[in-house]
Amino acid sequence: MTAAKSASHMPYVGIASFLKAPVCADLDYLDADVGVIGIPFDEGTMNRPGTRFGPRALREQSSLYEQYLPGEGYYDIELRQTILRGVNIVDCGDVPIQPLALEANHNRMTQSIKTMLSRGALPISVGGDHSITYPVVQAFSDIGEIGIIQIDTHADVFTFYESDLTHGSPMINVARNCPNVTKFVQIGMRGLMLGEKDYSDSIARGNVIITSDEVRSIGVDWVLDQIPEMPYYLTFDIDSMDPSIAPGAGTPEPGGLLYHQARDLLRGVAKKGPIVGFDLVEVNPLYDPTGTTALLATRLVVDFLGAIFHER
Amino acid sequence: MTAAKSASHMPYVGIASFLKAPVCADLDYLDADVGVIGIPFDEGTMNRPGTRFGPRALREQSSLYEQYLPGEGYYDIELRQTILRGVNIVDCGDVPIQPLALEANHNRMTQSIKTMLSRGALPISVGGDHSITYPVVQAFSDIGEIGIIQIDTHADVFTFYESDLTHGSPMINVARNCPNVTKFVQIGMRGLMLGEKDYSDSIARGNVIITSDEVRSIGVDWVLDQIPEMPYYLTFDIDSMDPSIAPGAGTPEPGGLLYHQARDLLRGVAKKGPIVGFDLVEVNPLYDPTGTTALLATRLVVDFLGAIFHER
Amino acid sequence: MTAAKSASHMPYVGIASFLKAPVCADLDYLDADVGVIGIPFDEGTMNRPGTRFGPRALREQSSLYEQYLPGEGYYDIELRQTILRGVNIVDCGDVPIQPLALEANHNRMTQSIKTMLSRGALPISVGGDHSITYPVVQAFSDIGEIGIIQIDTHADVFTFYESDLTHGSPMINVARNCPNVTKFVQIGMRGLMLGEKDYSDSIARGNVIITSDEVRSIGVDWVLDQIPEMPYYLTFDIDSMDPSIAPGAGTPEPGGLLYHQARDLLRGVAKKGPIVGFDLVEVNPLYDPTGTTALLATRLVVDFLGAIFHER
Amino acid sequence: MTAAKSASHMPYVGIASFLKAPVCADLDYLDADVGVIGIPFDEGTMNRPGTRFGPRALREQSSLYEQYLPGEGYYDIELRQTILRGVNIVDCGDVPIQPLALEANHNRMTQSIKTMLSRGALPISVGGDHSITYPVVQAFSDIGEIGIIQIDTHADVFTFYESDLTHGSPMINVARNCPNVTKFVQIGMRGLMLGEKDYSDSIARGNVIITSDEVRSIGVDWVLDQIPEMPYYLTFDIDSMDPSIAPGAGTPEPGGLLYHQARDLLRGVAKKGPIVGFDLVEVNPLYDPTGTTALLATRLVVDFLGAIFHER
Amino acid sequence: MTAAKSASHMPYVGIASFLKAPVCADLDYLDADVGVIGIPFDEGTMNRPGTRFGPRALREQSSLYEQYLPGEGYYDIELRQTILRGVNIVDCGDVPIQPLALEANHNRMTQSIKTMLSRGALPISVGGDHSITYPVVQAFSDIGEIGIIQIDTHADVFTFYESDLTHGSPMINVARNCPNVTKFVQIGMRGLMLGEKDYSDSIARGNVIITSDEVRSIGVDWVLDQIPEMPYYLTFDIDSMDPSIAPGAGTPEPGGLLYHQARDLLRGVAKKGPIVGFDLVEVNPLYDPTGTTALLATRLVVDFLGAIFHER
Amino acid sequence: MTAAKSASHMPYVGIASFLKAPVCADLDYLDADVGVIGIPFDEGTMNRPGTRFGPRALREQSSLYEQYLPGEGYYDIELRQTILRGVNIVDCGDVPIQPLALEANHNRMTQSIKTMLSRGALPISVGGDHSITYPVVQAFSDIGEIGIIQIDTHADVFTFYESDLTHGSPMINVARNCPNVTKFVQIGMRGLMLGEKDYSDSIARGNVIITSDEVRSIGVDWVLDQIPEMPYYLTFDIDSMDPSIAPGAGTPEPGGLLYHQARDLLRGVAKKGPIVGFDLVEVNPLYDPTGTTALLATRLVVDFLGAIFHER
């Protein structure tokens, strides 16, 4: 346990770890229900760089949600329920990143998550850009068949560049190279960047694609009805949220989700099957002058963790 | 009447007083229907300081709503009604504040409001942080039984720190020490900071607690139905609003109220009984790069004043 | 075709033209379905200057929507439809502006649009402040009877200043001096700046005035029902949008339209009759630190163009 | 005397007038040694607009230099001297400005300064852009022969646009139309915008032109030696200062003056003859995120006033 | 040793501790040559709040100066010398702070420094505002006679408020209540806030007062000659630096020190006698949009530590 | 010639090309004395990303220095000389960049510069981060023996990472792999990042290393005396400049060069031999809120071009 916990509870006091949780210096000795690890990698970005600062931004903003005692949880006044009581969360620091060392970086990402899994912790990855999801999902290759639920603006199935490992490609890479991932559910799709053929091909393969308009006009309950029950990995791209509340995204797009929609989606997803891990990516503090994006991301992580452990 | 009114009507011209109203230099000679006073105090803040600049931010943004002639009012195109015609509004400057002089500062706050009341003006306090509400409400001790309507994210009933006069405490202080305040209505509650026991205790005492989710999903009309008729003081914490429209708040939280909800709440409240005074607190210009938070706060003050005088 | 197209498709690469479209150096040789021209004029502004940088801001943000091949169009995943296939869009640069040379500037605006019309292109004007709409609409004097649909917070019919050519006046100027404009539809009206008599006079003349509240509470379909079928020019003031998503506006006001409402309005309007041209004004990058306002404006232009050409 | 003085001395408390001095509501009754008037006009700007907010920015930052008692002056620790003791400074508000009403605006500027002169006050004009200097200097037509000392990056003698009243033209306008101005001293010249012929013509007319390089490499004492003794009006363009300390300028240029150079120049100029008035222009708060430019401008005004009254 | 060191050396990777040094969770077990402790207290501020975020800002910016191996030191190319080789630096976290609990906060500050001293570490305090220097210096009461060298714009000897513990008072409090502090050397004085009598009284007591002008025009060597040899505590207010390089200060003032002057002063001071401890205060990240102030502060801490250990 | 030139000369009007020069769409047809090409690549960055936006930032700020007629040059008032008269400058757009396609990107950089050289133009590269200098210098392999003058804070000779092609490595890569580069002159060195052995090895190889302190304290003339006469390629890292004037750098460091020092260095270097090309790198607009860094960079490019063509 670092100095942070033995000091004060004011958000601005102490070294900033995620939720001011204890910091784990060596993953081989991790002892926690939940491990949160930063992946400050943004070399896959096709537009605005800066998501490398995402993990630190979430640490800073999450100071607001410090728990007074480890595992005391939070009383959610809107749920009228206490969440995360007895759940032990640990900040696992960051995956080491070296510029222009793609393969080594990817290997470290995969290996870090594998170690967290081997220690029995639920692994939460904080990006960084969306390209990290591919090496992260590779860490789950030994846990049997899973689906992926992707809350995102973009389908991230581009493959036509000189590099196919950018933040526009993680989903097609997973689809091609992770045989234990057998289902894709994409929620919040919008914008002008998905190719028409990419769309029809995906539908033909049995995937579920739900647009942002459909979430708003038909409703979250209907969306949840489209999702079959099975174990899931969830990947949350913060650009799925409306730019009004999440300006600090790598590739913002008008017309996104509102907080209560995203929260209700996450709560519903937690009921669909065990969640084996999740990531939250694309928070870009260089475009987030008031910190609202990182605060929102933190809150969504807490909400989803609350729902996951409520279902356990 | 200051130079401001004799100059021009462009928002950027002239010294910035609230709505470019005349400035009262000495409260003992105040002659107005409404007195707006700034309380630039933020030492009670547990997170982001800067609300000391709130009064000036509202003055700056409120330049947009200058009236061409004193008391001509405003035509509200959405109401299709003219509001505040003949209502005389005066800017009473700021309560003097000295750092680290808590008791003296509190006394000046209470005394300033008392003087405004004695001059027959409706007192509007612009924060500053939410800790000011306690000394302000103390000024209403002689006017008989009142309720408090609090539009806020947080219940502000924390008492477990070395100081119990922070911006997390005003409501519990009022509850304990202001015997003429007999009813508490808290609207917009959300987030993870209220203790479960604080909640159940409050309900047990007969208070009304309505969450942000309930405002959105059940509706403003239902909320208003929960509020009994009696004279009210209203305190409005700008962090009740969604961070998308009010990033410049001391302690933002995702999932807040939208403008039309807040406006409709204020209009409805004005029908519940005479409003004896109100405050608008926690506007923090240091986190409001485009001024939208201060502009929103100004508009809500004007809307509520319009509703109050419409009911008179 | 400039270097931009022959380079790369990353948004941050290449000289920024609108949608990275080819640039037309001389309007007399314009050959395009759509011509987009900037009008960097903000001397008519009564509040925050800076809309002179609006055209460049849209060019910068629109890099995100570059097409890989001219005329390939965009697949809109929410519409599940490809838009703008085969439509040739050209960036016509900016109308030359000289400070304090109002008449010459206005003449250049009118003349530029006339030339674009004579070349058979649909002229899109990007402001600049709203005062440009009057000289722009004058360019349409020879095309027969048209109506104007104005999506805006303010009615822009002020006439009581020393100058009647500010951004508060374009609509009254058009009404008085453009005899071929016979119908005014104003959508999104809100705020406290319209005079009561201005409102009643306008209604008496048969104009349609719809408030922002009405769009939200009654719905877009009802709004569209109020609009008669005829040829239209549309003027879109970005301050019609909610400040949460469009902080970078010249005169923001709480309670505005959301993206999906504006988009649906534009799609519906395109069905009401041929659109002879449109402008999008009042984007102010000096109050848009994360670029969301300019991005939103760009997307609305693309959405409306898509709808217009879908109806052709 | 406004409420500001009767309140507190903390910079953030009270309505912001210049140095928190008393506000004069009607120039016809001005009773002061020094009158400071804002001229929030920036329509003459050829680059970045926003100097219309200059007067308010100086008022805000000047709160730091509030005097505890009127006329007590300031002890300047570096001079080891008390300045401005017994000097009565008054904030005269702003000259009313209407957009696109150039002649009326100019007349009001000239007339306001004339009135201040007739009341016996030293008139200080705070811009606004540099175009205001021409109408301001016209107010001094009746006081006999004067010289102008211009501290500036640019010579401001452009005349080749459709309008010759921009912020690039004030000096040539004064030279042509103010016969009582018989000497021009231009200090701090640099950059790439002056025409070679403009330079040689000016020298031929007997003017003194001193570059920024010369101030730095030869020194302030030498510069002062070039200035003949006579009554002077001084105009200070904040863009003369280095952009490192004055980023918030209308047209910044690398290689400008440092604070101590400007201060020493102003002190030396005050010894050259009576100063009949001065202006400080081109402070642009929209490019001054930390307020250093407005603070610097305020300090220079105080320094120069101190020197002027020390010589009286 | 935290996870930070076992991760990567890129500045943006890992949890941000000061210089990414190991974090000490309990001062009673501190084992280091140097302990750096944050004091996130800004309630003594008379102008711009926000220095509570100073410690985190230095941690963030200091990531740039991470050492690859503990104690390897830095090669200073300008000195052509390796500094801090073998010096063991530890981040001691923050002193716990509670709002409006002045006495308890002060006690914790004093006690924390005392504990660090008892553990044999050189204590470095990072503010927070300048009011912290008084409780910090009290921790040195048992080490015998010392002098204080204060590098600052302001003398900080104000005593005339309702509270005498603000950031305007630390020096007078030390002078009155810390009998082992027998010498005051104040360097960098400038501005308009020191009273004339405060100045003459201080000189009469034998203190050394050197202005910013004197540092620049006479030189650092002369300044150092004025400083007698004895053990010193040094307090460095970042507002002593010029606002061009240190905009993020609580109370900026034009005409401050440049980096090389401050660095040379610190190097010279280290030769005057043993340095028993020092603080660096008043870094305000809310006014430091590009981080230059916090980076400068970090570099000065490293420079001074290098000089101190070079003299040992 | 693009539309920009045929429009207006106001900086804010027209599409932003470098100096609003004509744009060359195909390098094979380049016909110019000087070609300026952007290289928006920042994947080699070890700290703050964002220099990918550098070329656009220089284009935007350089609008201020538009020439009225091609080749008319600029009158430099401080030089009292007209520079660049008759010199034909063309904006060559950007080198196409694909994320995570390092080799292809490098090849395009080298090839673009080779083509510009083959067309007889002086190639100017605008970064992007400093890693681009290695592929750019490779384009000069056929022009015979040259030296490199590097104006920079850092020596950029790091080689110990998983990748040796970051922005910390260009100089060691050139030294190892570009046999025609036989001399290295490094000016402005400072900071704590160069290894002691790297320094001594470099000196042993006969290179010239001059620190920032030496430029300031000994002077530019002495620096120039250390530079032998021969043909040179110059690389200018904007972080060599002081952060006060160049906050928008990838890796800022206190104590850098001032504008007049850099300008005088560039003028002096131009006399040392023919300049075969140069680059200006590391301008990061994401840390340059007021644009001063990009403006400074533009001015330095113009100054250096002026000096180069003056010597021809």
Is there a contact between F43 and A100 if contact means CB atoms under 8 Å apart?
A: yes
Asked whether residue D8 carries a pLDDT value surpassing 70, the answer given is no
Question: In a mutagenesis test of the C interface, which of A187, A192, A203 is the best target, namely the one with the most C β-carbons within 10 Å?
Answer: A192
Least Cα separation, residue D165 to chain C (angstroms) = 7
With contacts defined as CB-CB under 8 Å, which chain D residues touch E216?
A: 260
Is there a contact between B245 and C243 if contact means CB atoms under 8 Å apart?
A: yes
Q: Is B71 helix (H, G, I), strand (E, B) or coil?
A: coil
Residue C3's pLDDT is 33
Least Cα separation, residue F167 to chain A (angstroms) = 9
Residue B7's pLDDT is 38
Nearest to E15 by CA among E24, E5, E25: E5
Is there a contact between A52 and F50 if contact means CB atoms under 8 Å apart?
A: no
Is there a contact between B192 and A74 if contact means CB atoms under 8 Å apart?
A: yes
Lookup: tokens for B259: 């403008």
Of C12, C74, C242, the CB nearest to A192: C74
Instruction: Look at strands D181-189 and D146-151 and give their pairing.
Output: parallel
The E-side interface with A (CB below 8 A) comprises 1-4, 6-8, 10, 12-17, 23-26, 40, 52-53, 56, 59-60, 91-99
Confidence of residue E5 (pLDDT cuts 50, 70, 90): very low
Average pLDDT over residues D253-259: 98
Residue A286's pLDDT is 97
Is there a contact between B165 and E104 if contact means CB atoms under 8 Å apart?
A: no
Asked whether residue E6 carries a pLDDT value surpassing 60, the answer given is no
Cα separation, C244 vs C254, in Å, equals: 8
Residue F139's pLDDT is 98
Least Cα separation, residue A59 to chain E (angstroms) = 9
**Under 8 Å between Cβ of E260 and E247:** no
Residue linked to tokens 């003087």: B115
The pLDDT tens digits for A147-157 are: 999 999 999 88
Residue D68's pLDDT is 74
Percent of chain B past pLDDT 70, that is, above it, reads: 96
Asked whether residue B3 carries a pLDDT value surpassing 90, the answer given is no
Cα separation, C27 vs B163, in Å, equals: 70
Is there a contact between C166 and D50 if contact means CB atoms under 8 Å apart?
A: no
Residue F8's pLDDT is 58
Cα separation, C115 vs C35, in Å, equals: 11
Q: Enter the ipTM.
A: 0.96
With contacts defined as CB-CB under 8 Å, which chain E residues touch B166?
A: 99-100
The pLDDT tens digits for B217-250 are: 999 999 999 999 999 999 999 999 999 999 999 8
| Strand arrangement of the beta sheet that strand B34-39 belongs to | B89-94, B34-39, B122-127, B275-281, B232-237, B146-151, B181-189, B208-211
Residue F200's pLDDT is 87
Residue A4's pLDDT is 34
Least Cα separation, residue F255 to chain E (angstroms) = 6
Is there a contact between A192 and C82 if contact means CB atoms under 8 Å apart?
A: no
Q: Residue A161's closest chain C neighbor by CA?
A: C9
Confidence of residue A199 (pLDDT cuts 50, 70, 90): confident
Q: Residue E98's closest chain B neighbor by CA?
A: B162
Residue A1's pLDDT is 26
Average pLDDT over residues C269-287: 98
**Under 8 Å between Cβ of C18 and C58:** yes
Is there a contact between E92 and A3 if contact means CB atoms under 8 Å apart?
A: yes
The pLDDT tens digits for B260-296 are: 999 999 999 999 999 999 999 999 999 999 999 999 9
Instruction: Look at strands D232-237 and D275-281 and give their pairing.
Output: parallel
Q: Residue F167's closest chain A neighbor by CA?
A: A99
Instruction: Look at strands F34-39 and A275-281 and give their pairing.
Output: unpaired
**Under 8 Å between Cβ of A280 and A302:** no
What domains lie within chain A, and their CATH numbers?
A: 3-311 (3.40.800.10)
Q: Residue C102's closest chain D neighbor by CA?
A: D100
Average pLDDT, chain A: 94
Least Cα separation, residue B113 to chain E (angstroms) = 21
Q: Between B129 and E71, name the one with better pLDDT.
A: B129
Q: Between F165 and B1, name the one with better pLDDT.
A: F165
Name residue C81's amino acid: Q
Is there a contact between A93 and E59 if contact means CB atoms under 8 Å apart?
A: no
The pLDDT tens digits for B82-123 are: 999 999 999 999 999 999 999 999 999 999 999 999 999 999
Residue A201's pLDDT is 86
Is there a contact between F4 and C93 if contact means CB atoms under 8 Å apart?
A: yes
Of E247, E251, E254, the CB nearest to D299: E254
Cα dist from E102 to B100, C159, C252, E8, whole Å: 8, 58, 42, 40
With contacts defined as CB-CB under 8 Å, which chain F residues touch A46?
A: 99
Confidence of residue D264 (pLDDT cuts 50, 70, 90): very high
Cα separation, C114 vs C138, in Å, equals: 9
Cα separation, E285 vs E249, in Å, equals: 8
Average pLDDT, chain D: 94
Residue D3's pLDDT is 33
Residue C102's pLDDT is 95
Cα separation, C3 vs F206, in Å, equals: 43
Is there a contact between B26 and D6 if contact means CB atoms under 8 Å apart?
A: yes
Is there a contact between E254 and D245 if contact means CB atoms under 8 Å apart?
A: yes
Residue A71's pLDDT is 86
Average pLDDT over residues A255-262: 98
Q: Residue D8's closest chain E neighbor by CA?
A: E161
Cα dist from F142 to D108, E184, F145, whole Å: 68, 66, 9
Average pLDDT over residues C69-92: 94
Torsion angle of the four alpha carbons E58, E63, E67, E69, in this order, in degrees rounded to the nearest 10: 110
Tens digits of pLDDT across chain F (312 residues): 233 333 357 999 999 999 999 999 899 999 999 999 999 999 999 999 999 999 999 999 999 998 877 788 999 999 999 999 999 999 999 999 999 999 999 999 999 999 999 999 999 999 999 999 999 999 999 999 999 999 999 998 877 668 889 999 999 999 999 999 999 999 999 999 888 888 888 888 889 999 999 999 999 999 999 999 999 999 999 999 999 999 999 899 999 999 999 999 999 999 999 999 999 999 999 999 999 999 999 999 999 999 999 988
Asked whether residue D7 carries a pLDDT value surpassing 50, the answer given is no
Largest Cα separation within chain B, whole Å, is: 56
Helix or strand (DSSP H, E) at C233: strand C232-237
Residue B22's pLDDT is 95
Q: Residue C211's closest chain B neighbor by CA?
A: B78
Residue A8's pLDDT is 57
Q: For chain A, which chains pass the contact test of at least 3 CB pairs under 8 Å?
A: B, C, E, F
Average pLDDT, chain C: 94
Residue B167's pLDDT is 94
Confidence of residue C70 (pLDDT cuts 50, 70, 90): confident
The A-side interface with F (CB below 8 A) comprises 42-46, 49-50, 52, 98-102, 104, 161-163, 165-166, 286
D308: Cβ contacts below 8 Å, ≥ 6 apart: D122, D270, D275
Cα separation, A266 vs D202, in Å, equals: 73
**Under 8 Å between Cβ of E223 and E215:** yes
With contacts defined as CB-CB under 8 Å, which chain A residues touch E26?
A: 3, 6
How many A/C residue pairs have CB atoms within 8 Å? 72
With contacts defined as CB-CB under 8 Å, which chain C residues touch D102?
A: 100
Instruction: Look at strands C208-211 and C181-189 and give their pairing.
Output: parallel
Is there a contact between E245 and F242 if contact means CB atoms under 8 Å apart?
A: yes
With contacts defined as CB-CB under 8 Å, which chain B residues touch D93?
A: 2-4, 6-7, 14-15
Name residue B309's amino acid: F
Least Cα separation, residue E306 to chain D (angstroms) = 29
Asked whether residue A211 carries a pLDDT value surpassing 50, the answer given is yes
Is residue D164 packed enough to be buried (19+ CB in 10 Å), middle (13-18) or exposed (0-12)?
middle
Average pLDDT over residues D192-217: 91
Residue A245's pLDDT is 98
Lookup: tokens for F124: 């100017």
Of D99, D104, D286, the CB nearest to C166: D99
Instruction: Look at strands F146-151 and A34-39 and give their pairing.
Output: unpaired
With contacts defined as CB-CB under 8 Å, which chain F residues touch C98?
A: 8, 10
Lookup: tokens for C134: 């009057």
Asked whether residue A7 carries a pLDDT value surpassing 80, the answer given is no
Is there a contact between F189 and E77 if contact means CB atoms under 8 Å apart?
A: yes
Residue E8's pLDDT is 58
Nearest to C39 by CA among C88, C108, C103: C108
**Under 8 Å between Cβ of C14 and F93:** yes
- Per-residue burial over D75-109, b if 16 or more Cβ lie within 10 Å, else e, is bbbbbeebbbeebebbbbbbbbbbbbbbeebbebb
Nearest to B24 by CA among B33, B35, B8: B35
The C-side interface with F (CB below 8 A) comprises 1-4, 6-8, 10, 12-17, 23-26, 40, 52-53, 56, 59-60, 91-99
C255: Cβ contacts below 8 Å, ≥ 6 apart: B78, B259, B260, B263, B299, C190, C212, C213, C242
Q: Residue D102's closest chain C neighbor by CA?
A: C100
Residue C2's pLDDT is 32
Is residue E166 packed enough to be buried (19+ CB in 10 Å), middle (13-18) or exposed (0-12)?
buried
Q: Residue E9's closest chain F neighbor by CA?
A: F46
The pLDDT tens digits for C99-154 are: 999 999 999 999 999 999 999 999 999 999 999 999 999 999 999 999 999 999 99
Cα dist from E222 to C117, E215, E219, E231, F146, whole Å: 75, 8, 6, 20, 46
Least Cα separation, residue A224 to chain F (angstroms) = 36
Is there a contact between C3 and F26 if contact means CB atoms under 8 Å apart?
A: yes
Residue B206's pLDDT is 85
Of F99, F104, F162, the CB nearest to A43: F99
Least Cα separation, residue D187 to chain E (angstroms) = 20
Cα separation, D181 vs D116, in Å, equals: 20
Percent of chain C past pLDDT 90, that is, above it, reads: 86
The pLDDT tens digits for D81-123 are: 999 999 999 999 999 999 999 999 999 999 999 999 999 999 9
Q: For chain D, which chains pass the contact test of at least 3 CB pairs under 8 Å?
A: B, C, E, F
Residue D105's pLDDT is 96
The pLDDT tens digits for D291-312 are: 999 999 999 999 999 999 998 8
**Under 8 Å between Cβ of E154 and E188:** no
Least Cα separation, residue E1 to chain D (angstroms) = 37
Least Cα separation, residue E252 to chain B (angstroms) = 17
Instruction: Look at strands E81-83 and E74-76 and give their pairing.
Output: antiparallel
Average pLDDT, chain B: 94
The pLDDT tens digits for C182-233 are: 999 999 999 998 888 888 888 888 899 999 999 999 999 999 999 999 999 9
Q: Does residue C250 have a cis bond before it (omega within 30 degrees)? A: no
